[in-house]
Chains A and B, each alone.
Chain A
């Protein structure tokens, strides 16, 4: 068993990178809009289908679909927030949660209706390629996702801190009224933020597809872990989401190895509860509740 610890840690890190990628968008949306977006998993599913169909019908490699899907999902997210979620929830936190829940029901069931419950996976020439690292074989797709997550989180962070739009988003996040007074269009900013969150999901989907599959229910597989990642990292913290995602990947992998795979996810949720109880602000969060 001990000889498996290093490969398990490495494997957990690469899986954790996917959790981090999915959580980046979620934590951004939470940090700014203060809403729990239950439709996040459904958006991931939608993006996975989009990447799948581009690959299946257009012969486009999932990695090459990134430049197409990122803007498409940004627009989708923008529209959803501006013209569906915001007007329909009348500003109440509880309602936002329910509206996103209803949205996820709509998206999932439409997907079931149009694309059926068939499991689909892309047939790519490098599906079985691995990278040898410290004596462990790591699937190529996972290594790429890991590196992409390492690059994406700081890039997004730079965008948030160094650009005008980023500053506007942060201003709205911290003090909505004040931002309004200095002339920031809050509704537009919220929608932009949601759009960026959706674009992050599209990125995660393109990086996930080569090593995974897609069904209308696939979103649920990741959404709870993504919540955990967001809370662990500190709601709204981008570097936090990255670190938390990687950490959770390792926790899950090691728990799986020692407690059995069935109980592996217990590690994730126990960590979740402990963090919520003892340090609800998360690893890198500034303030809680």
Chain B
């Protein structure tokens, strides 16, 4: 988790200064959109486990994100279950969905674009199902009753919400760092680098990959539950739509896939860019997305290792091999 170059230290420092500065400037706009960015950052961190460390680029993290959100919402709305229990259940449901998709996809040896497409298809099937059945509220979606309090996990005060999200993001990042340097993380990276070689060395690659999907699914499910608790409303297009799947992968790729800080930095950077574009092109809805996309393309061209990769090359502290923070 420690920076390994001057550039990375500066980049991480800038992110931390920005996050801290929100406490001192009483701007609800910046806090509001950073709250959204932090929820997306959790999905981005989830994607990073499979896509970054494991090299399995999913195009359907919405499948796990939405399952987490729906599991928690169904328990609370339809069965009146305590929000804290529902919160945990959402994470478990996300993990289960991740493991299920992983088990199916890897059982049949899918990788590359096939894996991307099958995750996309799962998210779509779930989206259609969620908008068709009564238990998910059909097309109307599910809405939590507005009753702020610690017992309902709803907070009126935005800075409390923000603080909770910061703590959760930090926890997820700490877990990511721990995973990365654990035996499991080493196996996972080995699978990404050369799966056949990993298998030859006696690693049960199937189990490692399914486990990675389960952990990733747990994080994504957590993000879905966070969305539900912050906005109190979900419907199938919101949580199973492709927008969140795309956001889940763009952040890590721009920030630096397979790094601990990359997903957070990439997501924050892209959200700041999107917000900036909105202000620059205030009266032209849609053009802000054009600008956003142009910057995205340029980033892909000129930052092959993402922002963290670029920063790693500036003022390196140590030898080159180990340039991921």
Interface residues in chain A, defined as those with a beta carbon under 8 Å from any beta carbon in chain B: 30, 34-36, 84, 87-90, 92-95, 97-99, 101-103, 105-106, 108-110, 112-113, 224, 227-228, 231, 260, 262-263, 265-266, 269-270, 272-273, 276-278, 280, 288-289
Nearest CB in chain B: distance from A125 CB, A: 35
Contacts of A97 in B (CB 8 A): 57, 113, 116
Task: Pick the contact of B108: A30, A269, A277 (CB < 8 A).
Answer: A277
Residues on A with beta carbons closer than 8 Å to the beta carbon of B110: 276-277, 280, 289
The 6 A-B residue pairs whose C-beta atoms are closest, nearest first, are A109-B286, A105-B293, A102-B293, A112-B286, A109-B289, A276-B118
Closest to B287 in A: A113
**Cβ contacts under 8 Å, A263 to chain B:** 128, 132
Are A102 and B297 closer than 8 Å at their CB atoms? Answer: yes
- B300 & A88 in contact (Cβ 8 Å cutoff): yes
Contact of B286 (CB < 8 Å), options: A35, A113, A280? A113
Q: Are B128 and A88 neighbours in the complex by a CB distance under 8 Å?
A: no
Task: Verify B290–A269 contact, CB threshold 8 A.
Answer: no
- Given A87-B301, A99-B300: A269 and B287 interface contact (C-beta under 8 Å): no
Residues of B contacting A260 in the complex (Cβ-Cβ under 8 angstroms)? 132
Task: Judge whether B202 is part of the interface by a CB distance below 8 angstroms.
Answer: no
Given contacts A36-B116, A262-B131, A288-B114, is CB(A101)–CB(B246) below 8 Å?
yes
**Please, how many angstroms separate the alpha-carbon atoms of A260 and B284 in the complex?**
40
Q: CB within 8 Å of A: which of B280-316?
A: 284-287, 289-290, 292-294, 296-298, 300-301, 304
Whether B164 sits at the interface, judged by CB under 8 Å, is no
Which residues of chain B come closer than 8 Å to A35, judged between CB atoms?
113
A-side contacts of B284, CB under 8 Å: 113
Interface bits B122-143 vs A (CB < 8 Å: 1, else 0): 1011001101100000000000
Q: Which one of B114, B128, B285, B296 contacts A265 once the chains associate, using CB atoms below 8 Å?
A: B128
What are 12 inter-chain pairs, A to B, with CB distance below 8 A? A90-B304, A109-B293, A113-B290, A224-B124, A269-B125, A269-B128, A272-B121, A273-B118, A277-B108, A277-B118, A278-B108, A289-B109
A103 touches B114 (CB 8 A): no
Q: Which residues of A contact B112 (CB under 8 A)?
A: 93, 289
Task: Give the number of chain B interface residues (Cβ < 8 Å).
Answer: 42
- Let me know if A277 and B290 touch, CB within 8 A: no
Complex-state Cα separation, A93 to B57, whole angstroms: 10
- Residue of B whose beta carbon sits closest to that of A271: B121
B280–chain A nearest beta-carbon distance, Å: 14
- In this complex, the member of A90, A231, A280 whose beta carbon has the largest number of chain B beta carbons within 10 angstroms is A280
Distance from A260 Cβ to chain B, minimum over Cβ atoms (Å): 8
Q: Does B104 contact A (CB under 8 A)?
A: yes
Task: Say whether B132 contacts A262, CB under 8 Å.
Answer: yes
When A and B form their complex, what is the total count of cross-chain residue pairs whose Cβ atoms lie within 8 Å? 123
Cβ contact within 8 Å between A106 and B293: yes
Q: Are B287 and A109 in contact (CB-based, < 8 A)? A: yes
Interface residues of B (CB under 8 A from A): 57, 104-105, 107-114, 116-118, 120-122, 124-125, 128-129, 131-132, 246, 249-250, 253, 284-287, 289-290, 292-294, 296-298, 300-301, 304
**A276–B129 alpha-carbon span in the complex (Å):** 20
Q: A225 CB to closest chain B CB, in angstroms?
A: 10
**A105-B117 in contact (CB<8A):** no
Contact of B111 among A113, A269, A277, A289 (CB under 8 A): A289
A262 near B128: Cβ-Cβ < 8 Å = yes
B118 to chain A: which residues have CB within 8 Å? Answer: 272-273, 276-277
CA distance A282 to B122 in the complex (A): 18
Q: How far is the CB of B37 from chain A (nearest CB, A)?
A: 18
Bound complex: CA A112 to CA B128 (Å): 26
When the two chains form the complex, which single residue of A87, A93, A265, A266 contacts B113, counting CB atoms closer than 8 Å? A93
Do B125 and A36 touch across chains, with their CB atoms under 8 A apart? no
Tell me, rounded to whole Å, the shortest Cβ–Cβ distance linking B247 to chain A. Answer: 11
Which residues of chain B come closer than 8 Å to A270, judged between CB atoms?
A: 125
Q: Are A99 and B304 in contact (CB under 8 A)?
A: no
Task: Give the chain B neighbours of A89 by CB distance below 8 A.
Answer: 300-301
Which among B111, B285, B292, B300 is the interface contact of A98 at CB below 8 angstroms? B300
Q: Are A109 and B290 in contact (CB under 8 A)?
A: yes
- The docked-state distance in angstroms from the alpha carbon of A175 to that of B249 is 30
In the complex, besides A93-B112, A102-B294, 19 extra interface pairs with C-beta distance below 8 angstroms are A34-B113, A89-B300, A93-B113, A97-B116, A102-B296, A110-B286, A113-B285, A224-B124, A227-B120, A260-B132, A262-B131, A273-B104, A276-B108, A276-B118, A277-B110, A277-B118, A280-B108, A280-B109, A280-B114
Minimal Cβ-Cβ distance residue in B for A89: B300
A278 CA / B118 CA spacing, docked (Å)? 12
Bound-complex Cα distance A113 to B284 (A): 7
Bound-state CA distance A95–B301 (Å) is 8
How far apart are the CA atoms of A94 and B305 in the complex, in Å? Answer: 12
Task: Give the CA-CA distance A115 to B249 in the complex, in Å.
Answer: 30
Q: Which of A98, A99, A110 has the most CB atoms of chain B within a 10 A radius of its CB?
A: A98
Contacts of A103 in B (CB 8 A): 293, 297
Q: Which residue of A lies closest to B122 (CB)?
A: A273
Residues of B with C-beta under 8 A to A109: 286-287, 289-290, 293
Contacts of B105 in A (CB 8 A): 276-277
Name the distance in Å between B171's Cβ and chain A's nearest Cβ. 28
Q: Which residues of A contact B297 (CB under 8 A)?
A: 84, 88, 99, 102-103
Contact, CB under 8 Å: B246 / A106: no
Interface pair A228/B121, CB less than 8 Å apart: yes
Bound state CA distance, A262 and B300, in angstroms? 38
Taking a contact as CB atoms closer than 8 A, the residue among A95, A108, A231 that contacts B117 in the complex is: A231
Structural contact, A90 and B300, CB atoms closer than 8 A: yes
